[in-house]
Amino acid sequence: MSTALLDLVLPPRCAGCGAPGASGAPVCPRCAAELHGEPERRAPEPPPPGLPECWSAAVYAGAVREMVLSYKERGRTALARPLAGALALAVAVAAGERPVVLVPVPSAGAALRRRGHDPVHRLAELAASYLRAAGWPASVERALTQRRRVADQAGLSSLQRAANVSGAFRVAGARNAPVPRSWGDAGVVVLVDDVVTTGATLAEAARALRGAGVAVPLAATVAATRRRDRISGISRCHPG
């Protein structure tokens, strides 16, 4: 049975720790606090060439990892709100006082069909709406599309990941027309994704945008993989 349906017919449990839910919230207060921690600059080590300055709200481990996977892989769409809240915090700290244009990293076609939604695009739209509600100029440009099939990044080394996503993205409309100047002028461009692991996906997405004349100084994610987890392979199940 789908998790979304179970959410409707059973009292929800916290998607982070499994504790019985109170008042129907998808995550308990403790896990929400872990997710909405202090955003920090957490760059992969070593950062791939061209990686924008990379900020994240939380460390990708434990309850945070469970929440991301439940949202992305198990269809618990109610988690979009707390996850997008974390993303909005990371964007706000990364961008300082500046208006922002959020560009989501596109999900792979196969992943889209399997999940029935583009999880990162949804997070970007929600995060932008939270920022606007707080009086912060924020918009979303779905500027990137996948130009070819990309293998699941799970289990790949840093070098393999970089090769896997090389040339994977195209700037929408850029083949025949330049990116409209208007959106690049609307604020600082912030690439957004759910998790950063080696940074290969974000670096490649930034490269594609720069090729279309768009400056990409910043990236923000819900969570960042710790270096030792990356080495031990806990980042399996995550694409980038």
Residues of the shown chain interacting with Zn ion in the complex, contacts defined by CB under 5 A: 14, 16-17, 19, 28, 31
What is the C-alpha to C-alpha distance for residues 34 and 104, in angstroms, rounded to an integer? 23
Say if residues 60 and 44 touch (Cβ distance below 8 Å). Answer: no
What is the C-alpha to C-alpha distance for residues 210 and 184, in angstroms, rounded to an integer? 11
CB of 63 to Zn ion, least distance (A): 6
Q: How far apart are the first and last CA of the chain?
A: 28
CB of 61 to Zn ion, least distance (A): 14
Nearer to Zn ion, 66 or 194 (CB): 66
Q: 3-state secondary structure string, 202-218?
A: HHHHHHHHHHCCCCCCE
Nearer to Zn ion, 52 or 82 (CB): 82
CB of 20 to Zn ion, least distance (A): 10
Pairing of strands 53-59, 40-41: antiparallel
Q: Cβ atoms within 10 A of the Cβ of 62, count?
A: 13
Nearer to Zn ion, 16 or 48 (CB): 16
CB of 29 to Zn ion, least distance (A): 8
CB of 66 to Zn ion, least distance (A): 9
Nearer to Zn ion, 14 or 208 (CB): 14
Nearer to Zn ion, 19 or 112 (CB): 19
CB of 31 to Zn ion, least distance (A): 3
Cis peptide before 217 (omega within 30 of 0): no
Pairing of strands 138-140, 144-146: unpaired
Tokens 């990137």, residue located: 144
Nearer to Zn ion, 30 or 181 (CB): 30
Spell out where the chain has E strands.
40-41, 53-59, 100-104, 138-140, 144-146, 169-171, 188-196, 218-224
